[in-house]
Amino acid sequence: MKQESLKPTVAYLGPEASFTHIAAQDFFGTGALVPFASIPDCIEAVTEGRVAYAVVPLENALEGSVPLTIDYLFHGSDLFINAELSTPIQQHLMVHQQQANAIESLESIHSHPHALAQCHKYLQYHFRRVPLIQTTSTAAAAKYVSENPNLNIAAIGNKLAADTYGLHIAEESIHDFHFNHTRFVVLSLRKETLTYENSGIPKTTLMVKLPEDDQPGTLHQILSVFSWRKLNLSKIESRPLKTGLGNYFFIIDVAETEAHPMMKGALEELDALLCEVTSFGSYYTYDQRISADK
Ligand SMILES: O=C(O)C(=O)Cc1ccccc1
pLDDT attached to residue 124: 97
If you count them, how many residues does the chain have? 294
Calpha distance 16→30 (Å, rounded): 12
Three-state SS string across 228-261, please? CCCCCEEEEEEEECCCCCCCEEEEEEECCCCCCH
* Residue with CA closest to ligand 1 atom 9: 115
Q: Examine the pLDDT at 221 and tell me if it is beyond 70.
A: yes
By three-state DSSP, how is residue 281 classified? Answer: strand
Q: Examine the pLDDT at 291 and tell me if it is beyond 70.
A: no
pLDDT attached to residue 84: 96
pLDDT attached to residue 1: 45
Calpha distance 51→58 (Å, rounded): 19
pLDDT attached to residue 215: 83
Calpha distance 202→84 (Å, rounded): 10
DSSP state of 293: T
- Does the structure's ipTM exceed the value 0.95? yes
Is any ligand 1 atom within 6 A of the Cβ of residue 13? yes
By three-state DSSP, how is residue 26 classified? Answer: helix
Q: What is the mean pLDDT of the chain?
A: 92
What domains lie within the chain, and their CATH numbers?
10-89+180-195 (3.40.190.10), 92-171 (3.40.190.10), 202-284 (3.30.70.260)
pLDDT attached to residue 293: 54
Q: Name every residue whose Cβ is closer than 8 Å to that of residue 162 and which is 6 or more positions away in sequence.
A: 92, 94, 142, 168, 169
- Between 280 and 214, the more confident residue is 280
pLDDT attached to residue 281: 97
Calpha distance 176→150 (Å, rounded): 29
Q: Please tell me the distance between residue 147's alpha carbon and the centre of ligand 1 in angstroms.
A: 20
By three-state DSSP, how is residue 218 classified? Answer: helix
Is any ligand 1 atom within 6 A of the Cβ of residue 182? yes
Over residues 138-178, the pLDDT tens digits come to: 999 999 999 999 999 999 999 999 999 999 999 999 999 98
Sheet holding 276-283, edge to edge: 233-240, 248-254, 203-209, 276-283
Q: Give me the numbers of helices (H) and strands (E) for the chain, helices first please.
A: 9, 16
Nearest-10 crossing angle of helices 138-147, 19-28: 120
By three-state DSSP, how is residue 150 classified? Answer: coil
Calpha distance 50→39 (Å, rounded): 15
Over residues 88-109, the pLDDT tens digits come to: 999 999 999 999 999 999 999 9
Grade residue 214 by pLDDT with cuts at 50, 70 and 90.
confident
Is any ligand 1 atom within 6 A of the Cβ of residue 3? no
Q: Examine the pLDDT at 274 and tell me if it is beyond 50.
A: yes
Alpha helix segments (H runs only) across 94-250:
113-118, 120-126, 138-147, 159-164, 218-227
Q: Examine the pLDDT at 120 and tell me if it is beyond 90.
A: yes
Pocket test for ligand 1, best of 16, 19, 26, 110 (most atoms within 8 A of CB): 19
Is any ligand 1 atom within 6 A of the Cβ of residue 164? no
pLDDT attached to residue 34: 97
pLDDT attached to residue 6: 52
Is any ligand 1 atom within 6 A of the Cβ of residue 20? yes
Q: Examine the pLDDT at 52 and tell me if it is beyond 60.
A: yes
